[in-house]
Structure 1
Amino acid sequence: MSQEIHSPKGQLLLRTLAMPADTNANGDIFGGWIMSQLDLAGGILAKEISCGRIVTVSVSSIEFKKPVSVGDVVCCYGECTKIGRTSMSINLEVWIKPIKEDGLKDRFMVCHATFNYVAIDGNGRPRPIKIND
Structure 2
Amino acid sequence: MNASTLNIVLKDESKIQLLKTEINAEISAYEKLMQKTGSSINLYFNEDESTFLNTQGLSNLINQTLNGSLNNVELAYICDCLTLAENSEFENDLAKEIVFEIADPEINGGYKSIEELKILAKSLQIK
Instruction: From the two aligned structures, give the one with the greater strand fraction.
Output: 1
TM-score normalised by length of structure 1: 0.23
Instruction: From the two aligned structures, give the one with the greater helix fraction.
Output: 2
From the CA coordinates, give the structure whose radius of gyration is larger: 1
